[in-house]
Structure 1
Amino acid sequence: MPEGDTVFATAARLRVALAGRRLRHTDFRVPRLATVDLTGRRVSTVRSRGKHLFIDVEGPDDARAADSAVSIHSHLKMEGAWVIGPIGRRWRRPAHQARVVLRTDEHEAVGFDLGILELLTDPDAALEYLGPDLLADDWDPAEAAHRLESLPDQPIGTALLDQRLLAGIGNVYRSEICFLGGMLPTRPVAAVDVPATVDLSRRLLWANRLRTARTTTGNTAPNARLWVYGRRGQPCRRCQTPIERGELNSIGGDRVVYFCPVCQT
């Protein structure tokens, strides 16, 4: 499931393939961008912010206005992915799932099933609502804690998914953070050690930011990577109590959450 660490790693791979290189072919396969052609422009960088990914593209060589630069903004949502490879290699997904194709002299980057794909002239302004990015170089734990503490009655499991408070946590990390913090997802923020929770969140995502297999247990074996997420009915790795699954209201509707009813209070 794409969360902040997945997007960070995706941006890193795209940066190696695209940054500093000219686009020799672009193909936007969504109706509102169907006529866009960025061929000949240079990619300045690729970066992530929370779960959002930006491919910053310079303006045409003959452009005089600074605002001719654009950023290709994408969000993976649940099913999206960017796949990078040599030009001509057979795609690993069906062509009808491709939303954008970007080619340089050597590489091809294809965005499949992207939940959001748009061009922005001022991407930073468009995402001002986001909280501190857990994987940013300028990560601000004090600001993240302040934002969480501003909603003392909010269940911690709901607050962790609110990207306006801190950016990058998704459903997997939400469950894992609550387990490692020994707190039920329904515990109100006022009853949580917020600075410790913020620190734990940062450390978990940072440790996984470039891993091919996400783990919160420290074990990378396929069936041992997570403490509770996706393990309904299986024994807790600490106390052997069956893991339970519930639903908790979040931005955008109810979402499943996994927890140990004994280890978490």
Structure 2
Amino acid sequence: MDIKNTAAIVTGGASGLGAATASLLAQRGAKVALFDVNAELGNQLADEIGGSFHSVDVTDPEMVKSAVQDAEGLHGKARILVNCAGIGPPAKVLNRDGSPLPLEDFAKVIQINLIGTFNVLSHFAARLYEAEPVGEERGVIVNTASVAAFEGQIGQAAYSASKSGVAGMALPIAREFARYAIRVNTIAPGLFLTPMLETLPQEAQDSLGKQAPFPSRLGKPEEYAQMVEAIISNPMLNAETIRLDGAIRMAPK
């Protein structure tokens, strides 16, 4: 799919992987709508890239439905969706005193990372599936999983479960959406320099980066965005979960 002059939605678009993706898509000529809860950063980036910001809780069906419609009114029907919204607070199943992790803490991660991803892609597809194709396809969805979907560490039970779910959705939804000429792919990043890791001391960042065989550093958000661009541009990429991790395989902790 040609990115130029195409309307795109990026969730979690105010910072990190989402911001880098939104910026690259805008550089390539896309009309980008940012969905995020951080209005300050979202509005600032939207102004910089000539896009629009929409205050969206990805777990709220009505809010997402309205935002997709609003973005369409501004930019035309969105044909590119990149889901980057997510959280990853570490938490063990049992606390130091042996008490279990509160169920609502586990559920919140699942709600945002997995259900939120599904919520946005379903409303995106509902607005797109009857649109006229552009060439041989109508649209592209890129979801964000994690290497934790496959090698979750201690303290990542909720995060790993949510990202495994995101990876697991790719094939059945791609099969369903094949009749609509909408592709569905997933990127599973390794350790990337996102806002969460930027708060760590440089020594800690370097130590984490060295866990990757090559390149032995943290991934750059721009490199995630480059993978998004490659997926959008290559029509044969469908139902794939692509690891983007410098060959890292996560240790238990």
- TM norm structure 2: 0.25
TM-score (norm 1): 0.24
Hey, which of these two has a bigger chunk of helix by percent?
Answer: 2
Normalized per residue, which structure has more strand? 1
State which structure, 1 or 2, has the greater radius of gyration over its C-alpha atoms: 1
